[in-house]
Structure 1
C-alpha cells in the first residue's frame, strides 16, 4: 500500500536524483492534477450542453474531434418532453451502420499514459430503432464492449467507464462496430487523462488463480462497481471527476449484523494533495461497521455479480472514523470466503481519519458472484471492523482488430506518402517473391521427410497479422512444425460464417463460440472461435492443432484447418450434424437414443480413445473425456472431440515419471491422477467409465441439486450396483429395452473402469471387447423356463442365454465372469478382433 507523509519534500540539486524521486516505488501523485476541460462530446448534435463543470461540445462543431461522417447519421429524441433524465445530453445520438470511429487529438493533452473513457448510452424514441442496436466497441487495440445492447427495463442511461493506457502524441480512436445487419450508436463521450488513481495489477495483492493475467500499465480496466459503503449515493454532478458512487444496501447479504457509522463532519486527513481524486471526502466521512451486539461477531458480507471468466481488480477504501484512539482496531478482510489480509490502520498513518486503500488482483474462480467480507481479528483490543468504500474493476483481456484508417481522398498532403509507400511495398513484394523462388528451388533439391510441413512464424502480439503459434513449447516440449496446408484465411472463415452471425452459433464453451459454416467449396464445417484476441486458451489452441494435424480416425473429429491471423484463434472442424452425446441424453426436444444405439456410440468412442492411446500418433492422452466431447454424426456414429488438454508422447513415459498440472472436468476426473498428478492412459479410462454411467442413467456426472450422497454419479451408481439397486437409477426411457445380461456386462465394464487403482482398470482395447460383448448379448433372446410368468419384467433377474461358446480375449477381466454366461475359453483368440470373435458366436434365435 502506498504511504504518503505530510511533510515538506526536499528537492535535491541534481536532476538525476530528482528523476529517481519522481519515479520511485512510492509512486507519488503528480502535483496538482487539474480537472480536464476536454474532451466532452455531445454526439449527434451541433449544440453544446453544460452540466456540473463540464461543457459537452456537439460533435458536428468540434475542431479537435472527428468522426467518419460518411458512415453515420445523427438522430434526435422524438419525445423529448418525456425525457425523465432532465438532461439534454440524451436527446441526440450518433448512429453508425458500419464500423466507424471517433478520433481525438491527444498530442496537446499531456503525457499521461492512462486515460479515462466514459461512453453514454440511452435508448430513446427516434426515426431509428436504437433498441435493436447490437455492437462492439474497441479502443487502444482492446475490445471494450462485445455484443453490447443499451436496451434496459429502467429506461435510464448506461454509462460505461474504462481506464486505458494510451501513448501520447498520436490520435486516439474509439471504434463502433455493428454486428450482423444491426447498428451502433452513442449519446456522449468523455475522454481525458485519468486522475492519479494508480490502478496497477503489478502493485496489487494477488488472490486466486492469476494465470494469463496482464500486469502493469498495459492493463485495461472497466469499472463494474463503485460503492460508498455505509453512506448515501454520490451522483456524478457532486463528485470532483464526475464518478457515481452507489450505496451498499442492495449488496449486503445480511443487514442485521452491521450498522452505518455516524457522519464524520471534519474533512479526512489526506496524505496527498491529490488524495481526493482517489476517493472524495464523502466516501471517507461515512462507513459501515459491525454491530457486535446484534451480530455476535459474525462477518459483514457483500455479494456482487461479476464476469466469472474474467479477473478483477478490487480496491478497498478505509478511513478510521469510528475509533476513539489510534491502534485499538485490527480486523480481517475476506475475498470469496478466504482470508486475504489483516487491516491495521496504524500501518498507514499515525493519525485517525486518514484515508488509505488496498488493491487486490482477484483471478477468475468459476463463479459469477464475488463475496467481500470483513470480520473480527484476535489481534484487536476492540471488537469491530469497518469499510468506507469499494471499487471493483474488470480486467479487459480481449484484443481488437485496429483497421487501417484511410484519409479523405481530397487531402493532398497524403498523396505523396501513399505513392511512395506503394512503390516501396511493390519493391518489397518483388524481393519476397525472388527470395521465395530460390528457397523453394533449394528445398526441392534437398531430401526432406515432408515438404508440406514448415515452420510457422512466431507470435508477435496483439493486433499483428502474424501467426499466434509460438515457437517455444507446448506441454514442456518444443512445438513441432505445423501443417501450413491447414491454414485458412480469416476472410474465408468470415465468409463461411456470414461474419460470425450469432444465428449460426451451435455451441458455446470455455474456448469460445462454435459456429456452423460453409466453406467456398461447399464443405460444411464447425468453426470454434476464441474471444477475439483474448490470449486465453493459446496453449490449448496450439495443442489441438498439433494433435489433430497428425491423426485421422473414423471416431475422432477431423481438423479441416485453423486461422491465427490478426490475433485470432480459430479452429475449423468437420461438421458433425447431431451435436453432443450429452444433448441426446438430456435434451427433451431430441429423440431418445435406444439402448442398442447407446452401446454402439460407446463402442465408437472407445475405439477413438484406443487409437489415441495406441495408434500411429505415438501415444496421446485426451485428459477431458466427457459426454460433451463425444459428438454424433447423422448416422449416430461417435466422434471424440476437443483435444485442447491432451498430452502426447510415448505412453510408457507417462506411466513411469510424467507429472503434470491436473486438468480435466469435475466429476470425470481420475481420483488417482488428482492425488498423485501422475498422468496415464488409465485416467482416460476412468473418465470413460463415468461416461458409460451417464449413458445408462441419463444424468450428469455431478448434480448439485441432489442430496449429497447422490451428487457424484460414479460414487452413487456403484453404491446402487453393490446393493443390487442399479436398475432403480437407469434412464426410464430404456428400462424395458435392456437385455439383463447386456446390462450386467455393461455395468461390470463401467465398474472396472472406475477402480481407484489405475492398475486395476482395463485398457481401452479390453473396454471395446467388453462393450462389443454387451452389444451381442443385447441381440440375444432371453430364454425362459416353462414355469416362468411371461408378465414378469425381464430385467428383474440376470438370465443366461443359450450360447454354444465364446472365448474371452480380455486381458483384465476375470475368466470366471464369462463362465457365468456358459462360455468356455477353448482357444487363444488374442490376435483376433472383437468383431471376428463375435462372428463365431452361435445362439439359438440370435439376429
Structure 2
C-alpha cells in the first residue's frame, strides 16, 4: 500500500533536480520499512502493558512481615551451607539434606504467645530448667512449637544466657539440633521459640517414663545422632560452637526416636584465632558431666563436649544417671563404678538390665571402651567428636552383622 501511494504522487516540477530511478526505488523501500516498523511499534505499545499486567497477576505473592508482630521478633533468614560429607554417610543420619522438611521461622508478638500458651497454662508445661519454663504451644496456623520463657526472678542473671542461645541458635541448621524459629525480647519478657520435639527427653526414656524401654539398636542410633550433631557444631557450623551442657535431659527424641540436641543456654563460640587452643571462661554445666580439666583450669575446648558425651554414652548403655546418691557408696559415681567393672572383665553386667535383648559382648566392650576414652581425665587423651561418630558408625555396622537374640 505504501508503494502504491508513492507511485500516485504528482510529478515533480521542472525546477526540481532529477534523481536516479534506482535511488527512488531505494527511497520507496525505506519509507515502506518505516511504515511497517511504525505499525509494529504501535502494536507493542498497546499489547505489552497487557502482557506485563497479566504476568504480574500470575506471579507468586511474597509474604511480608506481620504488621502486628513485635519489633523484637525476627525471621531467621539463614544462609545455610551444606557441610562437607566428612562424617561417614548413613541412610538415616546425614548432615543437611535437601529432602529434609523445612520448618519456617515464625513472627509472634506477646498477645499471640499468650494466646498460644493459654496464658502460660501449667497444663502446657513440658519442661523446666535453669533458664526457665518450656511450654508446648499451638499457633493460629495450627503449627505446634515450643516456647521457653525466662524466669523473671533470675532475669538479670540470665540475660547473658538468653542472648547467647539466640545468637548461636540462629547460626545452626542441622537435623540433630533443635532449630530456633524466633524470639521475643521486650519489656520484662524473654522468650525463645523453637521447633517442638514430641517424644520427650532421652532421660525420660531411660527412666521408662515413655512406655517401651529403648533397645540396644535404638540407643546406638541415638548416640550416633548426638555425635553427628556435636560434630556439626565443632567442625561445620559457621563458627565453632561448644555446647557446654551435653546431658540426657538436653537430648530430645522425635516420634521415630531420632535425637536432637537442645538447650544452648550455656553454649559458647570456640576460639576465634586459629592460634588459640581454648577460651577462658567461668565453669558452667551440670554436675556429673563436667570436664574435670575445664573445672581445674577454666579452659574450655571442644574436648569438654567430648567428655560430657563420654559420660552420656555410659548413661545410655547402663541406664544410670552420672551421679545417683540413692545407690551404695561404691556405685554413686557411675563413671568410677563402670570403669572398675569394665577392668574386671564384666562389661556385659554394665548393660542396662531393663533391656530384654542379649547384646554381643564384643560390641559392649567396644562401646564402653570408646566411652571411657571420651571421658579421659586429660583432654589430649580424648578423641575428636568426628572420630567418635566414625567409631560409633563402625560399631553399628558390626552390630547389623552380628546374630541377635530377643
- Fold equivalence (TM over 0.5): yes
Alignment CA distance shift 1:651-1:621 (3 Å): farther
Shift of 1:757: 1.3
Aligned counterpart in structure 2 of residue 745 of structure 1, from 354, 363, 366? 366
Shift of 1:719: 1.2
Q: Does structure 2 retain, via aligned residues, the 8 Å contact 1:662–1:677?
A: yes
CA deviation map 1:663-714 (0-9, x unaligned): 1100000111111111110000000001101111101111012223211111
User: Residue 131 of structure 2 corresponds to which residue in structure 1?
Assistant: 511
For the pair 1:690 / 2:336, whether they are aligned, the reply is: no
Unaligned runs of 5+ in 1: 1-451, 453-464, 469-484, 784-793, 796-847
Q: Which has the higher contact order (CA 8 A, sep 6+)?
A: 2
How far, CA to CA, are the matches of 1:553 and 1:611 in structure 2?
8
Distance 1:685 1:651 in 2: 20
1:648 and 2:269 are equivalent in the alignment: yes
- Aligned residues of 2:204 and 2:210 also touching (Cα < 8 A): no
Q: Could you tell me whether the CA contact under 8 Å between 1:560 and 1:573 is conserved in 2?
A: yes
Q: 1:522 aligns with which of 130, 133, 142?
A: 142
Q: TM-score under structure 2 normalisation? A: 0.71
Q: Deviations over 1:58-117 (max 9, x none)?
A: xxxxxxxxxxxxxxxxxxxxxxxxxxxxxxxxxxxxxxxxxxxxxxxxxxxxxxxxxxxx
Pairing partner for 1:660 from 281, 302, 309: 281
Q: Distance in 1 between matches of 2:169 and 2:282?
A: 22
Give distance in 2, aligned partners of 1:654 and 1:717: 37
Q: Which protein is richer in helix relative to its size? A: 2
SS at match of 2:323: coil
* Unpaired runs of at least 5, structure 2: 1-63, 65-69, 74-104
Closer/same/farther in 2, CA of residues 610 and 553 from structure 1, 3 Å limit:
same
Q: Which residue of 2 aligns with 1:718?
A: 339
Residue of structure 2 equivalent to 1:570 = 191
Give the secondary structure class of the aligned counterpart of 1:737: coil
SS in structure 1 of the partner of residue 357 of structure 2? helix
1:549 aligns with 2:170: yes
Distance 1:625 1:495, change over 3 A: same
Q: RMSD in angstroms over aligned alpha carbons?
A: 2.5
Aligned ranges 1:665-680 → 2 under 5 Å? 665-680=286-301
SS of the equivalent of 1:587 reads coil
- Determine the C-alpha separation between the residues in 2 that align with 1:679 and 1:651: 13
Matched, 1:757 2:373: no
Q: Which runs of 4+ in 1 moved over 3 A?
A: 465-468, 649-655
Q: In structure 2, how many angstroms separate the alpha carbons of the residues matched to 1:668 and 1:652? A: 27
Aligned pairs (5 A) from 1:385-784: 488-532=108-152, 534-535=154-155, 536-650=157-271, 656-734=277-355, 736-782=357-403
Rounded Cα–Cα distance in structure 2 between residues aligned with 1:651 and 1:723:
44
Q: Secondary structure at the match of 1:514?
A: strand
SS at 2:355 equivalent: helix
1:737 Cα offset (Å): 3.3
Distance 1:657 1:551, change over 3 A: closer
Q: Is the 8 A contact 2:271 2:278 kept in 1?
A: no
1:655–1:678 Cα contact (<8 Å) kept: no
The answer as to whether partners of 2:116 and 2:139 remain within 8 angstroms in 1 is yes
SS for the counterpart of 2:175 is coil
Rounded to whole Å, the distance in 2 between the matches of 1:739 and 1:651 is 44
Aligned residues: 307
Does the Cα contact within 8 Å between 1:577 and 1:633 map onto a contact in 2?
A: yes
